[in-house]
Structure formats: structure tokens, C-alpha cells
Structure 1
Amino acid sequence: MARKWWKESVVYQIYPRSFMDSNGDGIGDLRGIISKLDYLKELGVDVIWLSPVYRSPNDDNGYDISDYQAIMDEFGTMQDWEELLAEVHQRGMKLIMDLVVNHSSDEHPWFVEARRSKDNPYRDFYFWRPGKDGAEPNNWESCFSGSAWEYDEATGEYYLHLFSKKQPDLNWENPKLRRAVYDMMTWWLDKGIDGFRMDVINFISKDPDLPDVPNPEGKRYVFGGQYFMNGPRIHEFLQEMHKEVLSKYDVMTVGEMPGVTPEEAILYTAEDRGELNMVFQFEHMELDSGPGGKWDVKPWQLKDLKAVMTKWQKALENKGWNSLYLNNHDQPRMVSRFGDDTKYREESAKMLATFLHLMQGTPFIYQGEEIGMTNVRFASIEDYKDIETLNMVREKAVENGEDMQKVMRAIHMKGRDNARTPVQWDDTKHAGFTTGTPWISVNPNYKEVNVKQALLNPNSVYHYYKKLIQLRRQHEIIVYGTYDLILENHEQIYAYTRTLGDEKLVVICNFFNGTPCFELPTHLRSYEKCELIVANYEGDGSGDLENMVLRPYEARVYRLVY
């Protein structure tokens, strides 16, 4: 297997608006990030992924870009950004930027021009269609609820927006659009960045006919993913992007790809195909979604988590590369979702980190995860800011009369604002995030859960993350070893091995608050040497590796030599 720096790295995602505010306006900014770089260096991360900081009207918190080569005023200036890049590099870390080119903002000059007239040279940078039978051109539903089409009075046509109506989709069929995107990417790479995280990049190739989705239930709008996810020209577009841009630099690329299968992921990430390094898949993020989708929350099952993670580990082995994550800016906090965010918050946060970081792939840490930040339960919908959440409330509660308490329960569990409350730096007002009024309220548990406290406590979640990152540097097997599931049918324990040469790691994770017994499978017992390399409880626990009782949310990793 080819050795690459991005396989050996640990990535830390910064959502700038909520990370650190330097000027008291309540919004995180670039100078705030600069002020915390020593903290990230001390944690041990190799790469910082910066969520969008480009000029934007902020309809979808910066994922609606009006100028790809300028910095949003509330985040600072291009000079601030250049200083950030220099300071990151000076500390031996790398910086990757968010690339959002499935759609632009409706305030981008391309779209401003495109809507002027049907024969404008920029018209074909977007998807425009006349209405059909007095309605939208097709029955596609936006990912943010409602129709994926918006009527434009000026030219009497509709434009396609798979997200907000202020995020019109770019038409990648147009070679001039692609050229403009490649020139913009080259501009950033020449400034010295180290790669891109690509937003919903597998949406850029649509079925050119934009057909109606089969609709036996007669719904008003239907999700049309089969016509725009992993579309007919997607590999051609990504190979062209690689040839024209990415192949000229030693960079890291990760594509966000909802609806991707392991077989498709191999095509996207195989080293001989010249596309991307890795993808973000969502299968494990959908384990608690019922038939009604994300907001139809159901309990997740450990057997399903084992099946999904193992499928991806084995399918990409020696063929592609996995990204490893349990939360990000679009997902609830992992300790609230997969652990216990009250009584066993620290133990379960450490267990989940062990489970993830010991797998094969590149781990991604989302800001605040390293101190065990949790979901927030705002009492009022007035406290929520996320467009996806607010659209859902309008559709379910206002238009369809659903019970507001039920809607709020779903938001408390799955809303994107769970990840967007400010980073909790200390126990002072607003958790030390700002001297002003934060753009979104701080989680009330900041007095107990904060960085200052975590740094002082040698047994904190933070120090455990630091140890996991160090172990990755010390043990090649953590990066390059093969993965195999053991105890497949155990209902409380997720255990697996990693193998490289005559060395094995046994990773044991108790996912619940019971005290199950772990028994090492017979075929693993012929080892000559056994060493505990990391555990989330102090002391040895009861029993030896071959037969032990685990404590609630306990995680243990043993190194065996045969």
C-alpha cells in the first residue's frame, strides 16, 4: 500500500463562526483561530480543515458563496487569512479549504448575470427550465425541504437549487464553468493551501433530462437523489479536475458524498484512477433515521454499526482509503448520539474516540469533540439558527400541524445547531468564546465542560485524544494494519483487530453502561507478548485479556506479538 502523508495525518475541522471570536462581535473569525493555533499544535493534529470563510450572504452559514476569492467581512481580511496560513505552516501543520462548487450563492456575479436574460453568456452556468403544466419543471425536493426549483420573474423560467433557493446549482456540463472552477482552485493552491474538502461533490453531475422522480404515493415533492448523486459524468469531471489541477500539487482531497456505496467509493479513491484521496460517506450517520428520513429519529443498533463500519473497512482495504468521523458541522455531537452525555460523558467520549481512531483511515476531529462537547437542548425554536432546521419546522409544524414537542425532540437529537454552539474555552461568560453576544447561544453546560478545565485534568477527554494521536505516530499498524471484526454477534461489545506483519492490535469497546464479559477468540490466543497500550479507565480492571469484565463504556487496546 502506497504510503502518503494524508493517510498518516489527523485532521481537525474548524467551523469558523463558532470557534473563537477575537473582536467581540459575537462571531468567530480568522484572528480568533490564529490565537488558538498553539492549542491545536499541542493537541497534536496535523491538518486543519477550515469550513468556508469566503464572501457570502450567509443564507447557509457560508456554504452559499458570492465570491470564491474573497474573505467574508465578519471573518476578517485576506491579509488575516494569509497570516493564518503562514502561522499554521510555521507550526508544521497543514491547511485544507472547503470547496463548494455544486452551487454558488444567488448573489455571485455569475448568477446575477445569468438571471438578466435568457441569452446572457452566464445563463448556462446554471440550470434554467420553463415550467411544466403551470408548475415546476420536475417534482424534485430540495435537501432543505420544499421544491428544488425557484421561479424567476425576470425571465419567466425556474432555476434548480438542491439546497436553499439562494444556492442555485452550477451546471458542470458547461466547459466554461468547469474552467472557471479549475482556475479558482489553482489560485488557492498557488497561495499555498494543502488541499480541499469538497462539499457534496458527487452531486455535480445530473441526469441531463432532469426527469420526474417516480411518485406512486402522489407526494408534492420527492427526493431525486438517483438523478443527481454519482451522476453519469461524475468520474469524467473529477478526473478532469485531477488532471487540470490536483495532479500538479501534493495535496489532500476528501469528497463529501451522500448516498455513495463502497463500490463507488473505490472508483473515487483508487490511486490509479486519478480522482480523490478519500470520501465522506454517510451510511453510519443514517443508522438512527427511520423511513421518514433524518427527522424520523429511531434508536440505532450496535449490530448495524458493526455491519456498516466493517463493510467500509473491508471493501476499501488495499483499494481506496477511508475517512473516519462520528460528527461534524452537519451532524449532532457524537457523545450525545452514540454515547452517554450525562453520567458517563467522559468515559463514553473516550471510548468512541478509541473505536474510531484505531480503525484504518484518516481520523477527523470536529471542534469541541476533543473535550467531549454535547448536544444542546434550547427550549425555544427562537434560539435555533440553522436554515435546514427552520425549513423543517415550517413544513412539519406550521404547514402540516405536527406536534411541536415532537418536532423539538427531533431537533434536540439531530439538528445541525447541536454542532454549531460556540467552542467552550473556559467557565467565564459565554464560555470565553466572545466578549460580545454570541451569534448562537452557548451550551449551558460550559461551566463543567470547557478547554481550561480539560487542560488542567490529566485524565480529561482532551488528554486522551492527545494520547491517541501520539499512538498513531508511534505504531505504524494503526495507520496501515488491516481490520477484522471479532465477536460479531455480541450485543454490547464492538471489538476488532488490526494486523501488520507478526503484530496485532485488539481493540475492545463496550458501547453501553452494562458490565459485559469479553472473551478473546481462541484463534487469537497463541501470542508471545501482550501489552495494554491505551485504556479509558485508570487501573487494570478485572481479569486478563482472554477473559475480562468490562466497565460501562470501557475501551481497551492491546498490542500482541506472535
Structure 2
Amino acid sequence: MKITDTSDLWWKTSVVYCLDVETYLDHDGDGVGDFAGLAQRIDYLADLGVTCLWLMPFYPTADRDDGYDVTDFYGVDPRLGTHGDVVEVIRTARDRGIRVIVDLVVNHTADTHPWFVAARRSRNSRYRDYYVWRDEPPANNVNTVFPGEETTLWELDEKSGQYYLHTFYRHQPDLNIGNPAVRDEIAKTIGFWLQLGISGFRVDAVPFLIEVPEGEDLADPHEYLRDLRRFLRRRSREAVLLGEVNLPYKEQLDYFGDNQGEELTLQFDFIGMQALYLSLARSDPRPLAKALRARPAIAPEAQWANFVRNHDELTLDKLTDAEREEVFAAFAPDERQRVYGRGITRRLPTMLGGDPRRIRMVYSLLFSLPGVPVLFYGEEIGMGENPDILGRTSVRTPMQWSDSRNGGFSPAAPSRLTSRPPEGGYAPEHINASQQLNDDESLLHFIRKLAARYRISPEIGWGTAELLEHDAPSVLVHSVRADVGRMVALHNFADEPARVRLALEDEPEGAELTDLFGPDRLALGPAGRVELDLPAYGWRWLRVARPGDGRLG
């Protein structure tokens, strides 16, 4: 594949870092993180190697769904700061080579949003058709998004005597994208934030966004996505849409568009993520290998986003029932660590028993897989969840900056904090950024090194991937190559050493493998043969150095 050198495609080799402003750093001492605090940590993120900062919702909110119940798409939650504070973060980040994307949550509003307040006052309100109403709920009135918390999709509004649709919580009525006025409002929202300097959007729950209820008017829901992308490109050539599309690969292709790149720019690889955890539970890379082989090729104008954890439950919904039980047994043996019958409410280090070898192997894999790596705040220091906080918010605890009070997150009294850090072995006195900044062997420094090597290995973002055959069943070996070069990565999923015999038959005589994290240079034998040893949970990144190519090693 020939690489096009253009800043418009900056996202092809980005390092994405997701954070919630509310839980990152409290500047004014009220117990809530804010934009002024975030501005103080932009240099930390730049040093980490972050090139794209993804901000979770910071809009005014009813605060019944951690900010995803928005009451004003154009506003800033006053607890977090002002528009001026947002612009200062965007400017400071851009000065450090970091672009900012924000959550676009337009499936629904809060039921306290002025549109819905006006809509439920009268059936004749101009905002009535901003939402979806029925005199009687349809027969399929079962909520499958939040089983156990919500039982229905349709809620009776007693004042008007009609039912409104809520795909998520009952306090989050669905917007009606079949209404052109709603589509215009969404476009204006996008245009507003682009004008303030953001570089794109992480689009929440995309399949639900374009799912038009029966009886509503939208001939081709994907044409709506294409319209959004065209609007985005008119306003900003560099801006992206990073989509949350938890569907099988074949269906995900539809969300890139028939001519890939005309709808979503990037999509999260949920299939690969779930297969990874099955491989970890079995100490066997074959489930992940199967997923990677099934991952469809995409055009240069599109990209996969790889992740091992995010701000929601670790969903396992695409595994079979038996496979899901395997992962539950390995990583969430306590029912309280599970949610909705499909997900886990723990962070990676606690699931892996704090084993630094396995943790580092997983992050090495994350950064070496074709696509872009996405980190959730605190992953770089190995933060754990707070098991005393039930549900998905157990992983959304305050960032642990130091071993001081409240982990350096806030000087406020603990009772005033927006969330509580964990206690025990994952408490701030044991896990924090300050300690790890001063320890060259820490996880933080390890993630820095991965990000640095990823950034000078453009073949990972641009290249064509293949899985390599070998004779070590516990090891995953994959290769990514582009016109700039080729990299080979090995990862051992077992707690025993492994010897790997490879044959890179298409490499020329005199080629070598150079270790990207060490001084080793391994000459390829006849037919490109080479033999390598990996320790338990070991990993290696190797670049193919051909005679006279001058590549960095």
C-alpha cells in the first residue's frame, strides 16, 4: 500500500486517550474535575505520546447517566468550566500536537431538556415531533440495552396520554431523526463545536442513532450518515467521526460506507476486543487470531480503533454463551463484577491479578495491532476499579496523580468528590502517576515507550496485516507491511516460555530482524528462516531491515 503524506489523514497513526473531565483533575477544589485542571495536564498527555484527546460528555446534564443525559448540546456543564475554558484546552492541546475530539450524544436528550419539556406540554408543540410518540406501545416493548434496569422501550407520558420511545433509560427520550428539523439541529451542533476548534466526534451508539422507528420518514438511514460526513468535510477537512458500532464485521463495513470513508472515519473493533479476552482466559491466541483473520480489509480512507477497555462495561455480547461463561469464570467470578448478563465492570489489571507480565503483553499487543490504539484514562498507570461502586461507573473513578489526599485529584473533603478512588492494593498510595514518573521501569514509562515506537512505525496504521504460521501454539505472530517497511510482532499468551520458528520466505537475502525495544539484530537464514525465544507472557516487536533501506530500528 502506498502511503499518502497528508495531514488530513492524521488519525491513521494517532494515539487516542479518552477521559472524563469530571474525574481527571479538580482545579478549583469543589470535588469535581474541570477544564482548568485538564489544561494543567496537557503536557503530561503530550509526554505520554497522546496525539488525540477524546473528551467524554461535558455538556449541561441532568446527571442521571454520567453526562450522557444532555440538557444543552451547545453548552458546558458549569461545574466543569466555561466555553472559554474549553477553547483554552483545545488551543493548549493543539500547541502540543494533540487534537481534541468530543462525544456526540444525539440519540436522545435528557427528559429535562427544553425540547422535551416543551414537547410533553402539548401534542401541538413545535417540539412534539422532535421525539417519537405512540398512542399504544408496539408489541416488541422490551428493553434489551439495559436488562435488569429498564424493562420497556416505551414510557407513558401521563399528561399527554401517549408513549414515548427510549432505547436507553426512560429519562432519555429518543430523538426522532426522521424529522428534518432534528437532523438540522444535529448538524448545527456539529458545526458549533467544529468552529471552536475540535477535530471530530466520537459518535455514541451509531446503529441506534440511524435506526428509524416504523412510521417515521427516512428512506435510507445510511444516507443520513453520509450527509453528516459530507457536512463535516465541508466545515473541516481534517475532522473525523469515530463510531461506536458493536456489530459483526460484515455489518460494520456498511457503516464505513459503500465507498469506504464516506460515512464513519473510524470504528472500534468490538469483535477483536472480545476475542482478546477469550484468548486471555484460555491462554490461547487462537480466538483472537480467528477474529483478526475475519476482520475485513478497509480502504485507506477508513481505520480500525483498537482498545482493551473503555468507560462502559466490558461487553462480551458477541461471544457465545459458553465462551462468555469462560471469560466470566476467569475474570469476573463474583456476580457483582458482572452487569446486564453480558459485561464485566473491572479494569484490566484487576482482571489479570496484577501480573505485570500479562498486563504489558496486552498493551504491547494493543499498540502493535493494525489500526490506532485507544487508551482509557488511568490505563497508563494500571488503575483498578472501585468495587464498592456498582455498575459501569466502577471504572470511572478519579485519576490517581499522587499518594496524597484523594490521590491528588482534588483538595476537597472526600465526601465532596464526584467519585471515590479504590481502596486496598489499587488505592492511590500504591498506584499513582507521580511515583511512576520517577520509576523508569514503571507501566507509565512502558506505555510511553510503546507510544513512541508506534509513532515511528507508520506501517502499523497504514499497512496490510497478516498472521504468520509457526510451531508455537501459545504465540500470536502477526506482520504489518507498507511501502515504508515491515514489522513483525510476537506475543506469548502462556505462562511458559515458547520457542518460535518463522520463515519469512519473501524477504531478500541479507535481510535482518532488528529489535525495536533492544539491541538485537537477527539475521534471516535460507528461505527467511529465524528462531526466537519468548519468556512467559513475553513479546517482541521486530522490524525487517533490508540491505540499504535505512529504516530506523
Give the aligned partner of residue 543 of structure 2.
559
Q: Distance in 1 between matches of 2:33 and 2:377?
A: 13
Give the aligned partner of residue 240 of structure 1.
227
Preserved contact between residue 288 and residue 300 of structure 1 (Cα < 8 Å): no
2:304 counterpart (310, 322, 326): 322
Deviations 1:359-414 (A, max 9, x none): 22122111111112234433xxxx33xxxx3xxxxxxxxxxxxxxxxxxxxxxxxx
Give the aligned partner of residue 153 of structure 2.
148
Matched, 1:97 2:107: no
Preserved contact between residue 472 and residue 500 of structure 2 (Cα < 8 Å): no
2:47 counterpart (42, 52, 55): 42
Give the aligned partner of residue 512 of structure 1.
494
Preserved contact between residue 279 and residue 322 of structure 1 (Cα < 8 Å): yes
Matched, 1:528 2:511: yes
Preserved contact between residue 24 and residue 409 of structure 2 (Cα < 8 Å): yes
Matched, 1:191 2:175: no
Q: 1:242 to 1:483 in 2, by over 3 A?
A: same
Give the aligned partner of residue 289 of structure 2.
306
The residue type paired with residue 179 of structure 2 is: N
Give the aligned partner of residue 440 of structure 1.
419
Preserved contact between residue 205 and residue 233 of structure 1 (Cα < 8 Å): no
Matched, 1:33 2:21: no
C-alpha displacement at 1:2, in angstroms? 4.5
Give the aligned partner of residue 202 of structure 1.
207
Q: 1:122 to 1:11 in 2, by over 3 A?
A: same
Q: Distance in 1 between matches of 2:453 and 2:512?
A: 18
2:135 counterpart (109, 130, 133): 130
Preserved contact between residue 14 and residue 51 of structure 1 (Cα < 8 Å): yes
C-alpha displacement at 1:317, in angstroms? 5.8
Q: Distance in 2 between matches of 1:488 and 1:121?
A: 65
Preserved contact between residue 263 and residue 315 of structure 1 (Cα < 8 Å): no
Q: Match of 1:327, SS?
A: coil
Q: RMSD of the TM alignment (CA)?
A: 3.1
Determine what percentage of the aligned residue pairs are the same residue. Answer: 30
Q: Distance in 1 between matches of 2:470 and 2:251?
A: 23
Q: Distance in 2 between matches of 1:467 and 1:288?
A: 22
Q: Distance in 2 between matches of 1:507 and 1:333?
A: 28
Q: Distance in 1 between matches of 2:242 and 2:305?
A: 8
C-alpha displacement at 1:510, in angstroms? 1.3
Preserved contact between residue 19 and residue 423 of structure 1 (Cα < 8 Å): yes
Q: Match of 1:558, SS?
A: strand
Deviations 1:184-208 (A, max 9, x none): 2111111111111111122122254
Q: Distance in 2 between matches of 1:27 and 1:191?
A: 24
Matched, 1:283 2:271: yes
Unmatched 5+ residue regions in structure 2? 315-344, 547-553
C-alpha displacement at 1:129, in angstroms? 0.9
TM-score for the superposition, normalised by structure 1: 0.80
Q: Match of 1:38, SS?
A: helix
Q: Distance in 1 between matches of 2:25 and 2:471?
A: 44
Deviations 1:507-555 (A, max 9, x none): 01112322222222463776622210027xx9999xx993333222211
Q: Distance in 2 between matches of 1:288 and 1:6?
A: 24
Q: Match of 1:452, SS?
A: helix
User: Residues 62-77 of structure 1: matches in 2 within 5 Å?
Assistant: 62-77=67-82
Deviations 1:11-55 (A, max 9, x none): 111122221122233222211211111101111211111000000
Q: Distance in 1 between matches of 2:95 and 2:544?
A: 38
Q: 1:320 to 1:94 in 2, by over 3 A?
A: closer
Give the aligned partner of residue 451 of structure 2.
469
Matched, 1:422 2:435: no
Q: Distance in 1 between matches of 2:503 and 2:303?
A: 28
2:366 counterpart (351, 356, 367): 356
Preserved contact between residue 104 and residue 169 of structure 1 (Cα < 8 Å): yes
Q: Distance in 1 between matches of 2:188 and 2:270?
A: 30
Deviations 1:424-463 (A, max 9, x none): 1111222111222232221222222211111111122211
Give the aligned partner of residue 404 of structure 1.
none
Q: Distance in 2 between matches of 1:527 and 1:271?
A: 41
TM-score for the superposition, normalised by structure 2: 0.82
Preserved contact between residue 151 and residue 159 of structure 1 (Cα < 8 Å): yes
Q: 1:260 to 1:118 in 2, by over 3 A?
A: farther
Unmatched 5+ residue regions in structure 1? 212-230, 291-297, 390-415
Give the aligned partner of residue 348 of structure 2.
335
